[in-house]
Chain A
Amino acid sequence: MAVSPLVDGLPNPAARAVSSPLKNAASAQASSNGTPVPAVAPNATAAVQSAALDLSEQMNEDEKRKYIKGKKLGEGTYANVYLGQVRNDPSQLVAIKKIKINKEYTEGMSPDAVREIKHLQELDHPNIIKLHTVFSSKDQNLNLVLEFLPLGDLEILIKDTANVHYGVADTKAWMGMLTRAVWFCHENFVLHRDIKPNNLLIAADGEVKLADFGLARSFSDPYRPMTSNVITRWYRPPELLFGARHYSAAVDVWSVGLVFAELVMRAPYLAGNTELEQIELICKGVGTPTEENWPGVTKLPEYTISNQITPVLGKDHYNALFGTVGNEGVDLLMKTLILDPRKRITARDMLKHPWWHKDPKPTRKKELPRKSGGEGEEKVGADLKCRPGVVDEDRTNKVARKLDFGGPL
Chain B
Amino acid sequence: MSRKAVTSTVTQPSNAILPSDICPVCKRVRYLNTDMRFLINPECYHAMCSQCVDNIFKSGPAQCPYVSCSKTLRLRGFREAWFGDLSVEREVDIRKRVAAVFNNTQDDFETLRDYNNYLQDVEDLTFALVSGTDEERRKAEAQLVAYEEKNKADIDRNRKKGREVEAARKKREAEAEAASKARRLEEQREEEEARKEEATLNREVMEALARGEAGTAAQIQERILAHKRQRIAQLNGKHFPLPWTAAHRACSKRTGPTEDEEDRNKPYDPFGATDLDPTRYQVHETYENSWLDPARTRDDHRVPGYSVPEYVTRAMFEAFAGLGVDIDEEKAGAQRAVGTVGAKHAAQANVTTGALRKDDVFG
A contacts, CB < 8 Å to B:
1-6, 8, 10, 12, 15-16, 18-21, 121-127, 130-131, 133, 176, 179-180, 183-184, 187-189, 218-223, 239, 242, 244-250, 294-297, 299-300, 340-342, 344, 351-353, 356-357, 361-362, 364
Q: Closest approach, in angstroms, between the C-beta of A291 and any C-beta of chain B?
A: 10
Nearest 8 CB-CB pairings of A with B: A341-B305, A244-B304, A222-B295, A296-B303, A246-B306, A20-B362, A248-B307, A239-B304
Interface size counted on chain B using CB atoms at 8 A:
51
Q: What are 7 pairs between A and B in contact, CB < 8 Å?
A: A1-B321, A122-B359, A246-B300, A248-B307, A341-B304, A341-B305, A356-B268
Residues of B within 8 A of A176 (CB): 268, 270, 272
Distance in angstroms between the alpha carbons of A351 and B274 in the assembled complex: 12
Query: Which among B274, B292, B338 has the highest number of chain A CB atoms within 10 Å?
Result: B274
CB distance A18 to B263 under 8 Å? no
Residues of B within 8 A of A3 (CB): 321-322, 325, 355-357, 359-360
Residues of A within 8 A of B307 (CB): 248-250, 342
Any A CB within 8 A of the CB of B237: no
Decide yes or no: A4 and B330 within 8 Å by CB, A184-B276, A222-B311 being known contacts. yes
Decide yes or no: A248 and B327 within 8 Å by CB, A2-B360, A3-B321 being known contacts. no
Q: Closest approach, in angstroms, between the C-beta of A220 and any C-beta of chain B?
A: 8
Q: Closest approach, in angstroms, between the C-beta of B257 and any C-beta of chain A?
A: 15
CB distance A15 to B270 under 8 Å? no
Residue of chain B at shortest CB distance from A2: B360
Please tell me which one of the listed residues A6, A126, A180, A189 contacts residue B327 in the complex, with CB atoms under 8 A apart.
A6
Decide yes or no: A222 and B362 within 8 Å by CB, A180-B270, A247-B304 being known contacts. no
Decide yes or no: A184 and B274 within 8 Å by CB, A4-B355, A10-B338, A19-B362 being known contacts. yes
CB distance A219 to B267 under 8 Å? no
Per-position contact with A for B315-344: 1 when CB-CB < 8 Å, else 0? 001000110010100110010011111001
Any A CB within 8 A of the CB of B49: no
Distance in angstroms between the alpha carbons of A176 and B338 in the assembled complex: 40
Decide yes or no: A122 and B263 within 8 Å by CB, A180-B274, A244-B300 being known contacts. no
Distance in angstroms between the alpha carbons of A120 and B209 in the assembled complex: 50
Decide yes or no: A4 and B361 within 8 Å by CB, A180-B272, A242-B304, A246-B304 being known contacts. no
Residues of B within 8 A of A248 (CB): 304-307, 310
Residue of chain B at shortest CB distance from A177: B272
Any A CB within 8 A of the CB of B314: yes
Decide yes or no: A21 and B362 within 8 Å by CB, A3-B355, A221-B311 being known contacts. yes
Q: Closest approach, in angstroms, between the C-beta of B360 and any C-beta of chain A?
A: 4
CB distance B305 to A247 under 8 Å? yes
Residue of chain A at shortest CB distance from B361: A124
Any A CB within 8 A of the CB of B239: no
Majority DSSP secondary structure for residues of B touching A = loop
Residue of chain B at shortest CB distance from A226: B306
CB distance B305 to A189 under 8 Å? no
Query: Which among B264, B276, B360 has the highest number of chain A CB atoms within 10 Å?
Result: B360
Distance in angstroms between the alpha carbons of A294 and B274 in the assembled complex: 34
Per-position contact with A for B290-315: 1 when CB-CB < 8 Å, else 0? 01101100011111111110110110
CB distance B325 to A126 under 8 Å? no
CB distance B338 to A300 under 8 Å? no
CB distance A357 to B357 under 8 Å? no
Decide yes or no: A187 and B359 within 8 Å by CB, A296-B303, A352-B270 being known contacts. no
Residues of B within 8 A of A130 (CB): 361
Any A CB within 8 A of the CB of B363: yes
Residues of B within 8 A of A242 (CB): 304
Any A CB within 8 A of the CB of B358: yes
CB distance B304 to A300 under 8 Å? yes
Decide yes or no: A356 and B300 within 8 Å by CB, A3-B322, A3-B325, A12-B339 being known contacts. no
CB distance B305 to A6 under 8 Å? no
| Given A10-B334, A219-B311, 19 new contacts (CB under 8 A) | A2-B360, A4-B327, A8-B334, A16-B344, A19-B362, A127-B272, A179-B270, A187-B276, A189-B310, A219-B310, A222-B306, A239-B303, A239-B305, A242-B304, A246-B304, A296-B303, A356-B270, A357-B267, A362-B268
Q: Closest approach, in angstroms, between the C-beta of B269 and any C-beta of chain A?
A: 8
Residue of chain A at shortest CB distance from B303: A296
CB distance A223 to B295 under 8 Å? yes
CB distance B264 to A364 under 8 Å? yes
Decide yes or no: A223 and B276 within 8 Å by CB, A8-B334, A246-B300, A361-B268 being known contacts. no
Any A CB within 8 A of the CB of B271: yes
CB distance B306 to A189 under 8 Å? no
Please tell me which one of the listed residues A187, A223, A244 contacts residue B294 in the complex, with CB atoms under 8 A apart.
A223
Distance in angstroms between the alpha carbons of A44 and B267 in the assembled complex: 52
Residues of A within 8 A of B359 (CB): 1-4, 122, 124, 188
Any A CB within 8 A of the CB of B351: yes
Distance in angstroms between the alpha carbons of A357 and B351 in the assembled complex: 35
Please tell me which one of the listed residues B274, B299, B357 contacts residue A1 in the complex, with CB atoms under 8 A apart.
B357
Please tell me which one of the listed residues B305, B317, B358 contacts residue A124 in the complex, with CB atoms under 8 A apart.
B358
Residue of chain B at shortest CB distance from A133: B362
Distance in angstroms between the alpha carbons of A14 and B301 in the assembled complex: 51
Residue of chain B at shortest CB distance from A296: B303
Please tell me which one of the listed residues A15, A246, A352 contacts residue B344 in the complex, with CB atoms under 8 A apart.
A15
Distance in angstroms between the alpha carbons of A124 and B361 in the assembled complex: 6
Distance in angstroms between the alpha carbons of A179 and B270 in the assembled complex: 9
Distance in angstroms between the alpha carbons of A133 and B362 in the assembled complex: 8
